[in-house]
């Protein structure tokens, strides 16, 4: 499958406008009963202070361990060196911190982890997506529909639209505020498309050229606004029956990978390609096509799978690897805690 031969001046203009989504202002999930900000800050300050004390490392991990499936990565972002939680404004000794650590109820601790995770948002860099879609264009079996499950602010969907010619493009996002931001970004994206089509850059398109590829790209560009759709909702309710390629930024979905695999194996068509980040798919309905280790294409492990077989299959259940083996998790968390925490 050939990638678009789109003039660089068009591509740059469109893609430049959808960068930087990782810096957007966060909102907490409205359906998770978030902690009041004062409680969120107070708990975060206690946990962050404990994270700075080597003598309290194991006890901190003991408290976090029952909730590790809710943690994005190995350690909550707020406890890491780049965390934004402010420090306690008075010095507490280990005894006082230990007391504060164990006064946090399990319910509040879990909700704090969820709230902290809702503030986390990452995007693949432009150069990573360029390499990604170059690979996608070589692997595709057919080009019915491109779907991004957990599409955030829509960067991957819009990059797909100017990279590979699918019949349609769909992004599904659970958090309402991120969906609203994706719609706003797409409106701006479409405005840039209209300006490119109405006033092609001098020399970028020759209307008398015998090279039909550039003319095709301009035609596809004009059709993008009608081919792209962003929908709010749960990925598990998404219709994937026409999908040719499904993208999942699954770094945040470790505990859900078995459910994702079950859904896609039973509902997506044979030959559909699926890509995941960080976590693998373990299901007889998928075969691994390619694996790119961390930092070889993108910052984390990237895998491409193909849907195979007719099924039906037995429902896959969560495994220790999906939930994160407890000892392996503790080792990873300890390593992060060894890094200096700000303040």
Residue pLDDT, tens place only, 80-126: 876 767 778 778 999 999 999 999 999 999 999 888 876 767 788 89
| Same structural domain, 267 and 152 | yes
pTM greater than 0.75 (yes/no): no
- Asked if the bond preceding 340 is cis, omega within 30° of 0, the reply is no
Q: Please report whether residue 32 resides in a domain.
A: no
| Same structural domain, 127 and 115 | no
| Same structural domain, 200 and 261 | yes
| Same structural domain, 304 and 329 | no
- Residues 148, 169: Cα–Cα separation, whole Å: 8
Q: Please report whether residue 343 resides in a domain.
A: no
Token duo for residue 172: 């599904």
Check pLDDT > 70 for residue 204.
no
Full 3-state SS string of 323-341: HCCHHHHHHHHHHHHHCCC
Q: Please report whether residue 320 resides in a domain.
A: no
Buried-state track 104-115, b at ≥16 Cβ within 10 A, e below 16? beeeebebbbbb
| Same structural domain, 132 and 194 | yes
Q: Please report whether residue 187 resides in a domain.
A: yes
Residue range(s) defining the domain that contains residue 67: 37-120+325-338
Domain of 144: which CATH number?
3.40.50.150
Q: Please report whether residue 317 resides in a domain.
A: no
Residues in the chain: 343
pLDDT in tens, 7-52: 677 778 888 878 876 655 556 544 455 678 788 889 999 999 999 9
Token duo for residue 168: 């349609």
Average pLDDT, the chain: 84
| Same structural domain, 127 and 166 | yes
Q: Please report whether residue 319 resides in a domain.
A: no
| Same structural domain, 95 and 212 | no
| Same structural domain, 203 and 60 | no
pLDDT in tens, 131-173: 999 999 999 988 999 999 999 999 999 999 999 999 999 999 9
pLDDT in tens, 214-271: 444 677 788 999 999 999 999 999 999 999 999 999 887 877 889 999 999 999 999 9
| Same structural domain, 106 and 143 | no
Q: Please give the biggest Cα pair distance in the chain.
A: 80
């Amino acid at each position: 499958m050939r990638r678009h031969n789109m003039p660089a001046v068009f591509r740059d203009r469109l893609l430049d406008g959808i960068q930087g989504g990782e810096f957007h202002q966060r909102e907490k999930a409205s359906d998770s009963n978030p902690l009041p900000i004062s409680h969120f800050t107070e708990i975060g300050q206690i946990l962050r202070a404990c994270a700075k004390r080597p003598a309290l490392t194991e006890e901190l991990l003991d408290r976090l361990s029952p909730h590790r499936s809710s943690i994005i990565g190995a350690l909550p972002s707020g406890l890491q060196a780049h965390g934004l939680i402010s420090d306690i404004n008075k010095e507490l000794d280990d005894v006082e911190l230990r007391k504060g650590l164990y006064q946090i109820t399990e319910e509040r601790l879990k909700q704090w982890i969820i709230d902290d995770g809702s503030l986390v948002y990452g995007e693949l860099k432009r150069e990573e997506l360029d390499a990604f879609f170059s690979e996608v264009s070589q692997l595709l079996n057919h080009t019915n529909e491109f779907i991004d499950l957990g599409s955030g602010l829509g960067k991957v969907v819009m990059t797909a639209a100017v990279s590979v010619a699918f019949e349609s493009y769909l992004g599904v996002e659970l958090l309402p505020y991120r969906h609203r931001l994706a719609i706003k970004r797409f409106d701006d994206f479409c405005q840039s498309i209209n300006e490119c089509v109405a006033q092609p850059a001098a020399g970028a398109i020759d209307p008398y050229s015998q090279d039909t590829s550039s003319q095709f790209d301009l035609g596809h560009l004009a059709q993008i606004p009608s081919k792209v759709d962003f929908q709010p909702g749960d990925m598990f309710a998404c219709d994937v029956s026409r999908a040719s390629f499904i993208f999942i930024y699954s770094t945040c979905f470790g505990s859900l990978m078995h459910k994702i695999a079950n859904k896609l194996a039973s509902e997506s068509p044979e030959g559909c390609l699926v890509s995941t980040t960080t976590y693998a798919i373990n299901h007889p309905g998928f075969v691994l096509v390619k694996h790119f280790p961390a930092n070889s294409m993108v910052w984390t492990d990237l895998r491409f799978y193909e849907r195979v077989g007719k099924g039906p299959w037995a429902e896959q259940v969560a495994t220790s690897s999906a939930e994160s083996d407890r000892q392996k998790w503790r080792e990873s968390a300890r390593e992060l805690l060894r890094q200096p925490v700000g303040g």
